[in-house]
Structure 1
Amino acid sequence: MSVRDLVILGTSSQQPTRFRNHGAYLIRWNDEGFLFDPGEGTQRQFIFANIAPPVVTRIFVSHFHGDHCLGLGSILMRLNLDQVTHPIHCYYPASGKKFFDRLRYGTIYHEHIHVVEHPVYKEGIVEEGDNFSIEAVFLDHGVDNIGWRITEKDQRKFDNAKLKGFGIQGPLVRKLIEEGSIDADGRKVNIDEVSWIRKGDSIAVVIDTKMCAEAIEISKDALILLCESTYLETERDLAERNNHLTAKQAAEIAKKANVKKLVLTHYSARYLDEKVFETEAREVFPNTVAAKDMMYIPFPKNPPEKKSGS
């Protein structure tokens, strides 16, 4: 099975600290590397995480405040230096095209990589691939800022015992998939009699926003919600003023969206211990983890649930 994990490369907000780099988040999933909001120093964080940058296949910039994008240029140049041959897909708010170009071409280098730009003009499905769909919504942060959702495709799972019972094997399985039913064991066998659909998992990324309906919408039933929690409730006024969330508000989003796990990040430098965010959020949503730099959060594929009666 391919790697399935969320790697926390940085957890700070605007101001990095001795122990927290600017934010950056890598999701390794089914042979793809989804890199979100590469802040300053992200290239070096890959070294500390012992991960080779060429794992990156897609880069997402939620918005163009510096702590969410200043590492973009160096990551692209590093992938260029490593001579990656796969395309690098880049997703960002369309209104920030000029900032994307400035970051991409901010220095002199000979570009050899194939960068595929996906400027996002409106919310909805941004891309529908063979293995994943990518969805975007605009959040409430005072500038164009996108919340993302990655969903793997549903998979059909076969009951090998039932296939064997009907004498279906080898080329007959392929024929069943292609035609939906076949004649076997003296009768017509429908594909649903010997298989079921495993729903694809989703991961939502909500970085920098005030409380809004869109944050809940993009997170519905997600396996993991990676969410900003810049402040605690004691500084709720600062959160409101700066268009951010508190840890409690992030937990309320997770609860309303019925997510499985909440991962908090993007902490203000005023807080020295990220555990205080976890404590506050767990009062509302118990399955909460306060991310730390260099944390690995695996999300192994759960066994598929069979349909009732199967």
Structure 2
Amino acid sequence: MQKTKHMIIRDLIILGCSAQDSTRFRNNGAYLLRWNGEGLLFDPGEGTQRQFIFAEIAPSTVTRIFISHFHGDHCLGLGAILMRLNLDGVKRPIYCYYPASGKLYFDRLRYGTANKNDIPIIEYPVSKEGVVHKDDKFTIEAKFLDHRVDNIGWRITEADSIKFDKEKLQAKNISGLQVRDLQKRGVLSLNGSTVLLSDVSEMRKGDIFAYVIDTKYCQNAIDLAKGAKLLLCESTYLEQHKSLAFYYAHMTAKQAATIAKQARVQKLILTHFSARYFDLSLFLEEAKLIFPNVETADDLKRFDFPKGDFEN
């Protein structure tokens, strides 16, 4: 019987994409990025726990939670998610990143009920821009955006990795455990000769995911998105309502597309749509005039986040 090759899941799941108010068809925002064996949950709004059920994904997938700011539609589901993880008996740490000025709100959400709080929570209250966390999987950077309260956009870069050249390995008759030893030691003695890791491989730069939400058009949004493989960006309004976007410190689809173009991202996903709009294709049409490789979020929709380039 042929063994099935283990597939590493890399995708973005839209658990909700509505701005402020839920609608009949769109839940408050929440976004799960499954990447390198982890589950990165962004801005769990009200009802996120239920959306996991509809998405057929166990909440225990979550390893890190990112709160951009403490407006209710971006955080009211936090307490329910932490409750769920406790009920599921999760033992590993859950890393939580959020604006330091919102510590009071974080604690209220975390301890707002009589449910137990046994899971280990490692908090990263962010008060300064820059790298806020780095480990062997990810480098996490934060920048403050232009909203009505302290609001953070996130840039996550995976660690660089070794990519072996199969033809070069075959040419030198290197296979199996020899490949593992070469990667571990950086050098391999083979038939009286020495093979260096660099002789049969190259360094693969880590992919970048950027999350820009609830902000006016600003330079920090562009900086967060620079060179990102995937940019998930708010587009609360259409250009015909750009005065409302400015007043409420949000963006239009055109502005989101302009950021993607200036930052030279590979792919743009639009989200955080005002409840006044029913036809999301209008957002797509507006953005495509500026940046062609764009799609709109929708509840329970999934987007691949491949290791190679996106297919055209």
| Structure 1 CA distance for aligned equivalents of residues 258 and 167 of structure 2 | 44
Q: Does 1:286 align with 2:292?
A: yes
Aligned position for 1:308: none
| Structure 2 CA distance for aligned equivalents of residues 30 and 295 of structure 1 | 20
Describe how 1:225-264 pairs up with structure 2 within 5 A: 225-264=231-270
| Structure 1 CA distance for aligned equivalents of residues 112 and 186 of structure 2 | 54
Residue type of the partner of 1:220?
K
Aligned position for 2:155: 149
Q: Deviations over 1:193-240 (max 9, x none)?
A: 211111111111101111111101111111110000001110111111
Shift of 1:178: 4.9
Q: Does 1:18 align with 2:61?
A: no
Whether contact under 8 Å (2:210, 2:231) holds in the other structure is yes
Q: Deviations over 1:243-274 (max 9, x none)?
A: 10000000000000111111011011111111
Ranges in structure 2 where 5+ consecutive residues have no aligned partner: 1-6
SS at 1:277's partner residue?
helix
Distance 1:54 1:182, change over 3 A: closer
SS at 1:269's partner residue?
coil
Give every structure 1 segment of 4 or more consecutive aligned residues whose post-TM-superposition deviation is greater than 6 Å: none
Describe how 1:1-310 pairs up with structure 2 within 5 A: 1-169=7-175, 173=179, 176-178=182-184, 180-182=186-188, 184=190, 187-302=193-308
Q: Identity of paired residues, percent? A: 62
Q: Deviations over 1:165-194 (max 9, x none)?
A: 334456654554455445545554432221
Whether contact under 8 Å (1:166, 1:185) holds in the other structure is no
Q: Deviations over 1:72-116 (max 9, x none)?
A: 111111111111122111100011000000111111112221111
| Structure 2 CA distance for aligned equivalents of residues 298 and 63 of structure 1 | 26
| Structure 1 CA distance for aligned equivalents of residues 147 and 234 of structure 2 | 12
SS at 2:86's partner residue?
helix
Whether contact under 8 Å (2:83, 2:116) holds in the other structure is no
Distance 1:180 1:31, change over 3 A: closer
Greater Cα shift, 170-179 or 206-215: 170-179
Shift of 1:152: 1.2
The total of aligned residue pairs comes to: 303
| Structure 1 CA distance for aligned equivalents of residues 173 and 56 of structure 2 | 48
Whether contact under 8 Å (1:229, 1:250) holds in the other structure is yes
Greater Cα shift, 244-253 or 186-195: 186-195
RMSD between superposed Cα atoms in Å:
1.6
Shift of 1:129: 1.1
| Structure 1 CA distance for aligned equivalents of residues 170 and 108 of structure 2 | 60
Whether contact under 8 Å (1:126, 1:136) holds in the other structure is yes
| Structure 2 CA distance for aligned equivalents of residues 158 and 50 of structure 1 | 35
Greater Cα shift, 129-138 or 230-239: 129-138
Residue type of the partner of 1:292?
D
Residue type of the partner of 2:200?
V
Residue type of the partner of 1:243?
A
| Structure 2 CA distance for aligned equivalents of residues 135 and 291 of structure 1 | 24
Shift of 1:153: 1.1
| Structure 2 CA distance for aligned equivalents of residues 88 and 182 of structure 1 | 39
Distance 1:279 1:84, change over 3 A: same
SS at 1:300's partner residue?
coil
Whether contact under 8 Å (1:149, 1:203) holds in the other structure is yes
Shift of 1:131: 1.3
Residue type of the partner of 1:47?
I
| Structure 2 CA distance for aligned equivalents of residues 70 and 299 of structure 1 | 27
TM-score when normalising by structure 2: 0.92
